[in-house]
Amino acid sequence: MTRRLIDGLFRPIFAQAAENFIHDGAVFDIAGARLAFTTDTYVVRPLFFPGGDIGTLAVNGTVNDLAMCGAEPLYLSVGMVLEEGFAIDDLRRVVASMRHAADMAGVQLVTGDTKVVERGKGDGLFVNTSGVGRLIASSPISPRQVRPGDAIVLSGDIARHSVAIMAVREGLGFEPTITSDCAPLAASVSELIRSGIELHCLRDLTRGGLATALIEIAEAGSVTIRLDEPAIPVSDPVRGACEILGLDPLYVANEGRFIALVPADAAERTISTLRRFDEGAATIGCVEAAAGRGAVCLKTIGGMRALDMLIGEQLPRIC
């Protein structure tokens, strides 16, 4: 209900025609240059986790949102809200992570702002990053480009980010330590574009995970998505941890995973390109025409089940 209320409340703020408004960012022209622009605020708890921290997350998250628009990420801004008393050493670590992540992703942090709020009026540190990139995809990337027959290719194994965070929160020390998948996705997307693959839709699997991303795409594109559950890569330690933590790997956030919806005859090339970045890349399903509104069906070993939108947020403050 809250989500519906907020959605209804925010939609009128945005001036754009719907086609200009794709999920992970906005796309527009300035003086002949085709640009993408996106923003995200990061409130993850804990600030530091195996495989990253709020700084790596803030850089990679915004880099990935630009990549999902079919853009080459170039420039990022940094807005911080510090709670009075926040440890300078922690701030130093986060800042160093941001610089390192920016270098790794090939983007520049070019402008910033810091605000300090009184003790008890914040929570240590919140980080906003916004990003500007150059559109490199030659055709539009959007759920509405998805066609029956498209293959769904996943870039690697899922659920690691959420498990890494929850393990720290719950004080569980899995052996070996499960690390977040937090990583920049721009290089692999740009490789897909460079190799001429017709990308119908891209989506990174953050809040709500793989299931939510697919449900949103199926509904927006009015198609049925059939997923092959055994084909969806989840590592054994992550699967075990999900059982202990009571998490469904399909519904939890990843920070370095995405899906590409491409014509069936491009699936093999998509896979082989993505495997150069991550061996776990796999075709996990396909798109069919929908009788009514869009839906996602999961083919399990035992039969079929429909995936539904989660009610509420499974994991608060995961990013």
In the complex, which residues of this chain contact a copy of itself (CB under 8 A)?
5-6, 9-10, 12-16, 20-21, 25-26, 28, 30-35, 37-43, 74-75, 77-81, 88, 91-92, 95, 98-99, 102-103, 108-118, 120-123, 126, 128, 130, 132, 134, 316-317
Nearer to a copy of itself, 30 or 291 (CB): 30
Q: How many whole angstroms separate alpha carbon 16 and alpha carbon 185? A: 27
Nearer to a copy of itself, 115 or 293 (CB): 115
Q: How far is the CB of 17 from a copy of itself (least distance, A)?
A: 10
Cis peptide before 12 (omega within 30 of 0): no
Q: How far is the CB of 257 from a copy of itself (least distance, A)?
A: 19
Contacts of 129 (CB under 8 A, 6+ apart): 39, 40, 42, 58, 59, 61, 62, 76, 77, 78, 79
Q: How many whole angstroms separate alpha carbon 228 and alpha carbon 55? A: 35
Sequence letter at residue 183:
A
Q: How far is the CB of 182 from a copy of itself (least distance, A)?
A: 17
Nearer to a copy of itself, 117 or 309 (CB): 117
Q: How far is the CB of 317 from a copy of itself (least distance, A)?
A: 7
Q: How far is the CB of 270 from a copy of itself (least distance, A)?
A: 27
Nearer to a copy of itself, 99 or 293 (CB): 99
Nearer to a copy of itself, 130 or 180 (CB): 130
Nearer to a copy of itself, 54 or 287 (CB): 54
Q: How far is the CB of 197 from a copy of itself (least distance, A)?
A: 22
Nearer to a copy of itself, 31 or 291 (CB): 31
| Pairing mode of beta strands 295-299, 282-289 | unpaired
225 in Cβ contact with 294 (< 8 Å): yes
Q: How far is the CB of 134 from a copy of itself (least distance, A)?
A: 5
